[in-house]
Structure 1
Amino acid sequence: MQLQGVDLNLLVVLEALLGERSVTRAGARLGLTPSATSHALARLRATFGDELLVRTRGGMVPTVRGEQLLAPLRLALRDVGTLLRGPLRFDPKTSRREFVLASTDYIEAVLLPPLLARVSAAAPAVQLRVRPLEPDIAGPLESGALTVALGVVFDDSPGLQQQALFSEEMVLVCRKGHPEVRRGLDLATYLRLRHVLVSVRGGTQSVVDERLAELGLSRQIALVVPHFLAAPLIVASSDLVLTTPARLVRRLGPGLALRTLAPPLAVPGFTVRQVWHERHQDDPGHLWLRQQIFAAAKTISSGKDGA
């Protein structure tokens, strides 16, 4: 049977006829006259090559073929109804959905506390799962394996959408009592000290080194680590120094006994962004999460996050 030769509206009538076992009641349910419903039944009989409903002393009853059709017919109509309704509504109060974020540990430390507070209050059963930020995020974002990526620099891939969240400045930290940083820090001392470099992707250069190279200078990097949170802990128990995001230092608090100074050269800050794929632009759940992330970032920009 070719679908293009079938009036699919008749299937709605067939479900009503088989369910009601009455031309009159089926027509009333669908807003059809008994005559129109009888005409539809005749067309259905011709389409299926079966009587579908027959009269008995007790009223109309389905044929064996009619009985076989009812259950799959209802499933098919339900699926078509779901298709035509469009995207499902997202209710944060009742949803048990899981959202996957990719991020660095710096962004996790700064953004997750206010974000989690918002999500927990509005959607107590929603789960957030965070995974490391990998170089290739376009594929996972497109497939939906990844909901949102949070970071600073992203490759320009087709279909990716970006939104700025908050800006950050860089500071220099060393341990309190550092023997060479007692009265501040000039550029000569900065270059003489041994540095920790945080490199998420494993490189040996940063914006600091690029800025120094422009001046024909270089610094001594003693240690390269892939995580932001490890670096201040190392600095607090050594004579190494670290140029790092200011909010991270404030988030860690005074417990590490770190001293914060302005770098002795202009080090550009950066902007943290959230990135998603346009394929999920209008997904109600994805949209809700992006709104929560943006709102949490606003508390960071205003200083209301406590960091």
Structure 2
Amino acid sequence: MDDLRRLDMNLLLTLHALLTEQHVTRAAVRLHKSQPAVSHALAQLRDLFDDPLLVRGDAGLVLTTRACELLPPLEDALSQLNGLLRVSAFDPAQARRTFRVALSDYGARIILPSLVRRLRHEAPGIDLAAVQASREAMLAKLADGEIDLALGVFPHLPRDIGADLLFEDHYTSVGDRATLPADGDLAREAWLARPHVLVAMRLDAPSDIDVALAAAGLDRHVAVVLPHWSAALDVVAGTDLILTVAARTLSGAPAQPALRAFEPPVTLPRVPFQQVWHARRETDPAHRWLRQAVRACCG
């Protein structure tokens, strides 16, 4: 290791050019350097290896015994260094891999159908394993390498997590038509007074809605907590419950004639839906392709 510290790696390239060309001028042309610079490098190399390396023969310069011994391992070392620096190509059509993705059923409904169709068409050898977890658990799984990608809303991200904003959604409220004013939507006081349904993976984690209400000095009563939004619509029907969810939740959901969506009568934040990954995956060509595929599915 000490010998490597005092070795200019450019000298190895010069050594390889000199040993293969067996000519200082041709080596200089190959390296795009001046002949004096290559001659100076040859002097350094002779001193470094304590060997003349190239000597005069009947037909020009020839390799010494030491130089002949150096050439094969030198070519092997340079080949391996090139392999380290070369960005490996990724061919989705030929790839064999499993990607592990964490997302809620909200994200699953929006992205998975088109993503799976894309995988089957462009990358049939790539398998997809989807899991559901809280946002805190998703970030922990990314850090531990248990998953490759997480999709959701992440207000606070660690510094070693990369992120890509896929789209912004907004909140909408849903209630049973029979319990809503016939001539309009609920006023703020009436909305706050009604019992609410909360969709959350963790009972102890404050929702973004309640954080926003608390910042405005407001409060609501959460009467039902569910881990899946798909069941929430069925729960609301025929009750006085109010469900407030990201608007895209309702797209593609089974028709519920008894329900009506309306704008919440309070100011709520936008819903920035992101894909996030650990920094160790940043330059992985296969992972980059997956991120691009996910983004294309959000159009």
1:93 matched to which residue of 2?
93
Would the alpha carbon gap of residues 163 and 258 (structure 1) be closer, same or farther in structure 2, given more than 3 Å must change? same
Give unpaired runs (5+ residues) of structure 2. 5-11, 16-61
- Aligned equivalents of 2:245, 2:139: Cα separation in 1: 28
**Equivalent residues of 2:246, 2:271 under 8 A apart:** no
Q: Deviations over 1:90-109 (max 9, x none)?
A: 11112121111111111111
1:235 partnered with 2:236: yes
Give unpaired runs (5+ residues) of structure 1. 10-35, 45-72, 300-307
Q: Deviations over 1:139-193 (max 9, x none)?
A: 54355432111111154323211111100011111134x2344332112321232
1:156 partnered with 2:146: no
Secondary structure (helix, strand or coil) at the match of 1:99 reads strand
Aligned residue type for 1:92 = P
Greater Cα offset, 93-102 or 82-91? 82-91
The within-5 A match list for 1:47-86 is 80=80, 84=84, 86=86
1:120 matched to which residue of 2?
120
TM-score, normalising length: structure 2: 0.67
2:169 matched to which residue of 1?
168
- 1:237 deviates by 4.5
1:198 partnered with 2:176: no
The within-5 A match list for 1:15-54 is 39=65
Cα RMSD for the two superposed structures? 3.5
Would the alpha carbon gap of residues 167 and 189 (structure 1) be closer, same or farther in structure 2, given more than 3 Å must change? same
Q: Deviations over 1:258-281 (max 9, x none)?
A: 211111222222101111122121
Secondary structure (helix, strand or coil) at the match of 1:254 reads coil
Aligned residue type for 1:121 = H
Greater Cα offset, 180-189 or 97-106? 180-189
TM-score, normalising length: structure 1: 0.66
- Aligned equivalents of 1:115, 1:289: Cα separation in 2: 9
Would the alpha carbon gap of residues 274 and 140 (structure 1) be closer, same or farther in structure 2, given more than 3 Å must change? same
The within-5 A match list for 1:198-277 is 198-203=199-204, 205-255=206-256, 257-277=258-278
- 1:206 deviates by 2.9
2:102 matched to which residue of 1?
102
Greater Cα offset, 199-208 or 261-270? 199-208
- Aligned equivalents of 2:251, 2:85: Cα separation in 1: 48
- Aligned equivalents of 1:96, 1:37: Cα separation in 2: 46
- 1:129 deviates by 1.1
Aligned residue type for 2:261 = T
Aligned residue type for 1:274 = Q
Secondary structure (helix, strand or coil) at the match of 1:200 reads coil
- 1:81 deviates by 8.4
How many corresponding residue pairs?
241
Secondary structure (helix, strand or coil) at the match of 1:127 reads strand
Secondary structure (helix, strand or coil) at the match of 1:251 reads coil
1:145 matched to which residue of 2?
146
Secondary structure (helix, strand or coil) at the match of 2:197 reads strand
